[in-house]
């Protein structure tokens, strides 16, 4: 850990789906409050295109494997882990994808494993992983 003191407070990791969020007056989704919010909708290919995982969620090892092997995912996780371990590290990191079921959920689980392995306590909150897959915005 390069001699750095880890933050004493647990890291709170949140996964969410933009299509499930409430919207503001202009119709923009309002993500959870966090020190860092990562929108992976355009950054990482949607793993739900892999037909064999459509009915699974990011808790499942098959989904985590697909997410982890998506171009850019390993680099994102590495970056999130390093950010989480800064001595004045964040309290909350939120990761959002379209529905919150595959990419965001899987990334939170994978990131939490790595952060815990490096000695920082992690609390996880999945806002939408339990909801059915959505293909278009939910009416507000």
Burial of 98: CB neighbours in 10 Å, binned 0-12, 13-18, 19+: buried
- Dihedral pair phi/psi, residue 130, rounded to 5°: -85, -10
How does pLDDT run across 4-38, given as a tens digit for each residue?
A: 677 679 999 999 999 999 999 999 999 999 999 99
Beta bridge partners of 92: 12
**Confidence at residue 139, expressed as pLDDT on a 0 to 100 scale:** 53
Model confidence at 133, pLDDT cuts 50, 70, 90, reads confident
Determine what percent of the chain is predicted with pLDDT higher than 70. 90
**Confidence at residue 28, expressed as pLDDT on a 0 to 100 scale:** 95
**Confidence at residue 4, expressed as pLDDT on a 0 to 100 scale:** 65
Quote the mean pLDDT of the chain: 90
**Confidence at residue 134, expressed as pLDDT on a 0 to 100 scale:** 73
Model confidence at 52, pLDDT cuts 50, 70, 90, reads confident
Burial of 73: CB neighbours in 10 Å, binned 0-12, 13-18, 19+: buried
**Confidence at residue 78, expressed as pLDDT on a 0 to 100 scale:** 98
How does pLDDT run across 97-109, given as a tens digit for each residue?
A: 999 999 999 999 9
Model confidence at 2, pLDDT cuts 50, 70, 90, reads low
**Residues in CB range of 58: below 8 A, 6 or more apart:** 15, 64, 67, 101, 102, 103, 104, 105, 106, 107, 108, 109, 126, 129
Q: What is the 3-state secondary structure (H, E, C) of the chain?
A: CCCCCCCCCCEEEEEEEHHHCCECCCCCECCCCCCEEEECCCCCCCHHHCHHHCCCCCCCHHHHHHHHCCCCHHHHHHHHHHHHCCCCCCCEEEEEECCCCCHHHHHHHHHHHHHHHCCCCEEEEECCCCCCCCCCCCCC
| pTM attached to this predicted model | 0.89
Model confidence at 50, pLDDT cuts 50, 70, 90, reads confident
């Amino acid at each position: 850990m390069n001699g750095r003191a880890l933050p004493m407070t647990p890291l709170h990791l949140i996964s969410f789906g933009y299509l499930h969020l409430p919207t503001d007056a202009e119709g923009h989704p309002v993500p959870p409050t966090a020190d860092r919010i990562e929108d992976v909708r355009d950054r990482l290919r949607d793993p739900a295109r892999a037909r064999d995982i459509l009915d699974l969620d990011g808790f499942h090892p098959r989904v985590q494997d697909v997410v982890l092997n998506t171009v850019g995912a390993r680099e994102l996780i590495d970056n999130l882990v390093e950010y989480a371990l800064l001595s004045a590290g964040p309290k909350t990191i939120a990761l959002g994808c379209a529905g919150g079921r595959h990419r965001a959920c899987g990334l939170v689980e994978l990131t939490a494993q790595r952060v815990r392995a490096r000695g920082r306590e992690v609390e996880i909150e999945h806002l939408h992983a339990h909801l059915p897959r959505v293909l278009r915005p939910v009416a507000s």
